[in-house]
Amino acid sequence: MPPASSYLGELGRALQEALVQALVRGARMLHLPKGTFYALAAAVAVLALLLIARALLPRLRRRPRSPERGALEASPAPAVALDAAGWRAELDRRLAEGRIPESLEALWWWLARSLAGAAAEPDWTSRDLVARSRRDDLRGDQLRDLVRRLDLLTYGPLPPAVEDLRGLLGRLEEKLA
C-alpha cells in the first residue's frame, strides 16, 4: 500500500491536469489567443492562492502567541506553588483586574487542584484532568461539559467576558460542592 502522501500527490496531479485540460478546452471553444489563455490561467492560479490564504489566515490568527491573548506562561506564580484555595484567590484577583487570559489560567488551575490536588500537572489536558480526578462522583457528563466549556472559553476565537468566567466558575463550584 503506498503512503498517504503518494496518494495525495497523485490526487493533486490529477486535479491539476483536469483543471489545465478544462482551461485548454475553454480557450479553444472561445478561440482565445495564447497570450489571453496564459493570462487567464495565471488569474485562476492567483485566485486559488487567494482563496487558500483566506481560508488559512483566520485559523492562524486563532493561535495566540502574545501574553495579552492567553499565553499561560505569563503567570507570576508557579502553578505548583498554589493549592486550590490559592488559585481561587488568584482567580478572584485576576477577574477583578479584568485580566481574562490570566483568569482562564487561574480557573483551570483552581479546577485542577480541586479535582486532583497536588497530582495535577501543567502538561495535562482538560480530558486528562477529568480522567484523573480523584472523585469518582465527578467523572460524569456534566463535569465533562463544564470542562469543555472552559476549553472553549480558553481556546475559542473570541475572548470571553468576565461574566462568562464568573458564570462558569459558579457552575463548577456547584458541581464540586
What is the spatial distance between Cα 35 and Cα 103, in angstroms, rounded to a whole number?
Answer: 60
pLDDT value for 38: 82
Inter-residue long-range contacts of 43-52, CB under 8 Å, 24+ positions, other chains counted: 44/19
How many Å separate Cα 138 from the centre of its chain? 25
- The pLDDT of residue 71 is 43
What element of type H or E holds 44?
A: helix 34-61
Say if CB 127 and CB 113 are below 8 A apart: no
> Cα dihedral sign for 123, 125, 128, 132?
positive
Residue type, 128: D
Quick check: 67 pLDDT over 70?
Answer: no
Please give the model's pTM, rounded to 2 decimal places. Answer: 0.55
Where does the pLDDT of residue 1 fall: very low under 50, low under 70, confident under 90, or very high at 90 and above? very low
Question: Is residue 75's pLDDT more than 60?
Answer: no
Q: Where are the domains of the chain?
A: 4-61, 67-176
Res 139: pLDDT:
55
How many angstroms separate the CA atoms of 141 and 159, rounded?
A: 25
pLDDT of amino acid 103? 92
